[in-house]
């Protein structure tokens, strides 16, 4: 999951406007900008506090998003986002061919999850760049949560992540 070269991993057949997603966002080059783990407890740095606080601003900017389990780790973030956007962001619609009534791509018209994560990464970067150099890894990893059992297992994984973290 932490490779230097990331490929685009958005599935063109998934409607990222609705659903429950497990998201992982990594810092470039695995730098521990966000803090440290001691005795299985995460201690946020000033930059980690920025990442933490900005995460909770997502529903302020996207009222169709609900947040669930979330953790800031030293060099990455895990979180569950629940998106329920039936209208969609108009600015996210692909251009239409004037001769067609459908979008010119096979992708759903709105791609809210990538827009939300991109906005979050930009906001965190803007705040952090005021004090230090910082860079995210390109893209992010997402997984569609398909049922209640997956949801519960991912919540547990996020909560227990500091226990599994191997200090560098």
5 vs 39: which has the higher pLDDT: 39
Q: What is the pLDDT of residues 69-95, one digit of tens each?
A: 999 999 999 999 999 876 544 333 222
131 vs 36: which has the higher pLDDT: 36
- Contact (CB, 8 A) for 23 and 16: no
pLDDT class for 133, splitting at 50, 70, 90? confident
**Tokens describing residue 5:** 């070269």
Q: How far is Cα 67 from Cα 54, in angstroms, rounded to an integer?
A: 12
Cα 166 to chain centroid, rounded: 22
14 vs 35: which has the higher pLDDT: 35
Question: What are the residue boundaries of the structural domains of the chain, listed by start?
Answer: 18-87+112-159
CATH topology of domain 18-87+112-159: Alpha-Beta Plaits (3.30.70)
Region of residue 122 (left: phi > 0; alpha: psi -120 to 50; beta: else): alpha
pLDDT at 97 > cutoff 50: no
Q: What is the pLDDT of residues 36-47, one digit of tens each?
A: 999 899 999 999
Q: How far is Cα 146 from Cα 140, in angstroms, rounded to an integer?
A: 19
% of the chain with per-residue pLDDT over 90: 51
Q: Count Cβ atoms below 10 Å from residue 20 Cβ, excluding itself.
A: 20
Q: Count Cβ atoms below 10 Å from residue 117 Cβ, excluding itself.
A: 22
Q: How far is Cα 127 from Cα 138, in angstroms, rounded to an integer?
A: 18
In this predicted structure, what is the pLDDT of residue 6? 42
Q: What is the pLDDT of residues 58-73, one digit of tens each?
A: 999 999 999 999 999 9
pLDDT at 167 > cutoff 80: no
């Amino acid at each position: 999951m932490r490779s230097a070269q990331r490929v685009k991993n958005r599935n063109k057949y998934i409607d990222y406007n609705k659903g429950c997603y497990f998201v992982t966002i990594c810092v470039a080059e695995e730098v521990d900008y966000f803090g440290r783990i001691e005795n299985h407890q995460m201690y946020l740095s000033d930059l980690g506090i920025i990442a933490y606080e900005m995460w909770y601003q997502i529903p302020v900017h996207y009222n169709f998003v609900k947040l669930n389990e979330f953790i800031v780790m030293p060099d990455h973030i895990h979180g569950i986002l629940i998106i329920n956007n039936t209208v969609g962001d108009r600015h996210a619609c692909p251009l239409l061919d004037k001769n067609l009534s459908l979008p010119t791509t096979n992708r759903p018209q709105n791609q809210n999850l990538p827009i939300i994560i991109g906005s979050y990464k930009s906001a965190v970067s803007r705040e952090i760049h005021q004090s230090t150099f910082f860079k995210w890894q390109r893209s992010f990893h997402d997984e569609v949560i398909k049922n209640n059992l997956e949801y519960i297992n991912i919540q547990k994984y996020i909560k227990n992540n500091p226990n599994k973290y191997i200090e560098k």
